[in-house]
């Protein structure tokens, strides 16, 4: 069977959930036994989102092979349970970078290098790359941005050309639009969809399927009208109604037969029905919690929920695993201090201190950690959150009052967190952190070992600073244990306080590998510890 390509574009407005629709379709096709991957083409000029502030673009997701990517790749992995890679996220910046480098090498000698064909050829090459690996039956490509934007035009042109070049039964295009509800008129409006499809048609792309994001049911009449005016077959106007959880969307898409319509286009009508047994088991637990825990998420980007996307999703998975609802309370570390910490944290059953960069809000994180440590409140620190629990312990238990991370004070004489050796010569900011998956050896008879049940684990990273091993012996003597370390370099990956009921800090990002079907073990144990803490308070 030839690899089949699905292209997903969006119109009318951004944030309609193209990533979730793509992931839901992928899930349904995978659940019928197909090998599926999803890739995202982003129209911005940054090579990757690694240098973007989370306020600009939400969380930066990191793949096993160390690519800093769009957060939609997190959704792809959570829905499919399959790893993505560098090749799954392409930006305009990457395309131009390749073409300009080739021009300098002389690859186009004598030719004028242009958007068409050189940029579009490079886009097409990358759109087909994963398909040519032979590892996938279906490659779904999500085009970032909104049709009609200047930035996304070369991507839409590449889709137009591929729609023409590929055999018809190997290529399907889906356009996601918004059908707004005007409450004054009590009416759903189809005109924005018609205009959006017209914009796509003007660019030469005829969508095969329209998916309509809506707050109310689409009537058969509305569906017929949109099919007629958008020139798609009846039955190919699919409703995507607002769902209580993103994890319901695959079921909604199955009910709307999105997968069947796509498979019919591909001539693949004889596949078994999707096997969603595990997915449904997860949803069953998610929708029937027996208890609730309150978790404080202490960070500095809390105004923007997307900044901590994978952490929030990991709590959804871990909550379901514990048959418990996890209420996450965002607490702004910049405004947290000794004077208000009791009021902010005393009602919580656990504290998670988030990853981050730079000085803003750091002291608030230290205050939260001290409170959790001194009150036996379950604590979980991730990356910067782990580094700050080392700083807090060094200051308040070891008595190193000036302890700090070198990230904050390059001249410090007490760098309990220091710049990694191989980072010292790095001047370039993009893609130069310690990125991607590394092994970690877990010591037996520790909390970390009880959590993972394994002596060798692998998790993903994104950092420049590390625990300074010169302080290790003193920290361990004072009661903070390094329970996980990199087997080759000795870099401290996990710290814990054995005398505390649940206190763990990790240099890596466990949230990147949590999925509904395989919830991340630290999150699962942390929620369990929060439940126990809550019960002990009663
Ligand atoms: N800023 C810290 C470092 O670079 C932590 C990074 C993070 O939390 N991802 O090491």
- According to the model, what pLDDT value does residue 262 have? 97
Calculate how far, in angstroms, residue 421's C-alpha sits from the geometric centre of ligand 1.
Answer: 15
- According to the model, what pLDDT value does residue 506 have? 98
Nearest atom, ligand 1, residue 358 CA = 1
Residue nearest to atom 5 of ligand 1 (CA): 384
Calculate how far, in angstroms, residue 142's C-alpha sits from the geometric centre of ligand 1.
Answer: 29
- According to the model, what pLDDT value does residue 475 have? 97
Residue nearest to atom 8 of ligand 1 (CA): 355
Determine whether 389 is an active site residue: no
By CB atoms closer than 10 A (0-12, 13-18, 19+), residue 184 is exposed
Nearest atom, ligand 1, residue 385 CA = 8
Calculate how far, in angstroms, residue 227's C-alpha sits from the geometric centre of ligand 1.
Answer: 50
Nearest atom, ligand 1, residue 509 CA = 9
- Give the C-alpha separation, 198 to 183, whole Å: 26
Helix (H) or strand (E) holding 213: strand 209-214
- Give the C-alpha separation, 99 to 116, whole Å: 12
Residue 449 CB-half CA count within 13 A: 12
Calculate how far, in angstroms, residue 410's C-alpha sits from the geometric centre of ligand 1.
Answer: 15
Intervals of the chain under pLDDT 50: none
Determine whether 511 is an active site residue: yes
- Give the C-alpha separation, 291 to 278, whole Å: 22
Neighbours of 81 (CB within 10 A): 16
Determine whether 509 is an active site residue: yes
- According to the model, what pLDDT value does residue 98 have? 98
Nearest to 494, CA basis, from 451, 448, 452, 431: 448
Residue nearest to atom 6 of ligand 1 (CA): 463
Give me the catalytic one of 68, 77, 313, 511. Answer: 511
- According to the model, what pLDDT value does residue 54 have? 86
DSSP letter assigned to residue 516: S
Give me the catalytic one of 171, 383, 389, 440. Answer: 383
Calculate how far, in angstroms, residue 510's C-alpha sits from the geometric centre of ligand 1.
Answer: 14
Calculate how far, in angstroms, residue 491's C-alpha sits from the geometric centre of ligand 1.
Answer: 14
Nearest atom, ligand 1, residue 462 CA = 9
- Give the C-alpha separation, 363 to 31, whole Å: 47
Residue nearest to atom 3 of ligand 1 (CA): 463
Residue 371 CB-half CA count within 13 A: 26
| pTM for the structure as a whole | 0.96
Ligand 1 lining (C-beta closer than 6 Å): 355-357, 383-384, 407, 462-465
Nearest to 312, CA basis, from 370, 365, 354: 354
Instruction: Give the ranges where 31-179 is alpha helix by DSSP (H).
Output: 54-57, 72-80, 92-105, 120-132, 153-165
By CB atoms closer than 10 A (0-12, 13-18, 19+), residue 273 is exposed
């Amino acid at each position: 069977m030839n690899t089949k390509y699905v292209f997903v574009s969006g119109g009318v407005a951004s944030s309609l959930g193209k990533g979730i629709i793509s992931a839901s379709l992928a899930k349904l096709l995978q659940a019928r036994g197909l090998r599926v991957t999803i890739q995202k083409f982003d129209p911005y000029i940054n090579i990757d989102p690694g240098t973007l502030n989370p306020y600009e673009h939400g969380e930066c997701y990191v793949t096993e092979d160390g690519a800093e990517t769009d957060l939609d790749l997190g959704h792809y992995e959570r829905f499919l349970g399959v790893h993505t890679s560098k090749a799954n996220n392409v930006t305009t910046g990457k395309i131009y970078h390749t073409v300009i480098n080739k021009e300098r090498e002389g690859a186009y000698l004598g030719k004028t290098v242009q958007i068409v064909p050189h940029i579009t050829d490079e886009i097409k090459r990358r759109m087909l790359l994963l398909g040519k690996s032979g590892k996938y039956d279906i490659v779904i490509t999500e085009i970032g941005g909104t049709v009609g934007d200047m930035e996304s035009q070369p991507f839409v042109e590449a889709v137009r050309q591929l729609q023409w070049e590929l055999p018809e039964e190997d290529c399907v295009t889906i356009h996601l639009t918004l059908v707004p509800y005007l409450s004054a008129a009590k009416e759903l409006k189809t005109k924005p969809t018609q205009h959006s499809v017209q914009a796509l048609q003007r660019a030469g792309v005829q969508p095969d399927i329209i998916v309509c994001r809506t707050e109310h049911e689409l009537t058969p009449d509305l569906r017929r009208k949109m099919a007629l005016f958008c020139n798609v077959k009846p039955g190919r106007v699919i409703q995507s109604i607002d769902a209580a959880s993103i994890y319901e969307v695959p079921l909604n898409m199955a009910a709307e037969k999105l997968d069947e319509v796509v498979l019919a286009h591909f001539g693949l009508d004889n596949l078994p029905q999707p096997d969603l047994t595990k997915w449904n088991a997860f949803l069953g637990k998610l929708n029937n919690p027996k208890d609730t825990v309150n978790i404080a998420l202490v960070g500095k980007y809390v105004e923007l929920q997307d900044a901590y996307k994978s952490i929030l999703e990991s709590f959804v998975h871990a909550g379901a695993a514990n048959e418990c609802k996890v209420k996450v309370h965002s607490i702004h570390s910049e405004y947290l201090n000794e004077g208000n910490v009791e009021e902010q944290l005393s009602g919580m059953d656990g504290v998670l201190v988030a990853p981050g960069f730079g000085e803003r809000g750091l002291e608030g994180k230290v205050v939260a950690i001290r409170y959790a440590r001194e009150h036996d409140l379950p604590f979980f620190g991730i990356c910067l959150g782990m580094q700050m629990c080392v700083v807090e312990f060094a200051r308040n238990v070891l008595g190193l009052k000036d302890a700090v991370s070198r990230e904050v004070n390059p001249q410090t004489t007490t760098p309990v967190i220091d710049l990694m050796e191989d980072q010292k010569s790095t001047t370039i900011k993009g893609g130069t952190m310690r990125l991607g998956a590394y092994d970690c050896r877990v010591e037996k008879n520790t909390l970390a070992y009880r959590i993972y049940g394994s002596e060798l684990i692998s998790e993903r990273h994104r950092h420049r600073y590390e625990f300074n091993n010169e302080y290790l012996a003193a920290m361990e003597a004072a009661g903070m244990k390094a329970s996980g370390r990199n087997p080759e370099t000795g870099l401290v990956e996990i710290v814990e306080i054995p005398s505390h009921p649940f206190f763990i800090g990790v240099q890596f990002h466990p949230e990147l590998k949590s999925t509904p079907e395989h919830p991340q073990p630290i999150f699962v144990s942390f929620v369990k510890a929060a439940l126990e803490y809550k019960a002990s308070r009663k």
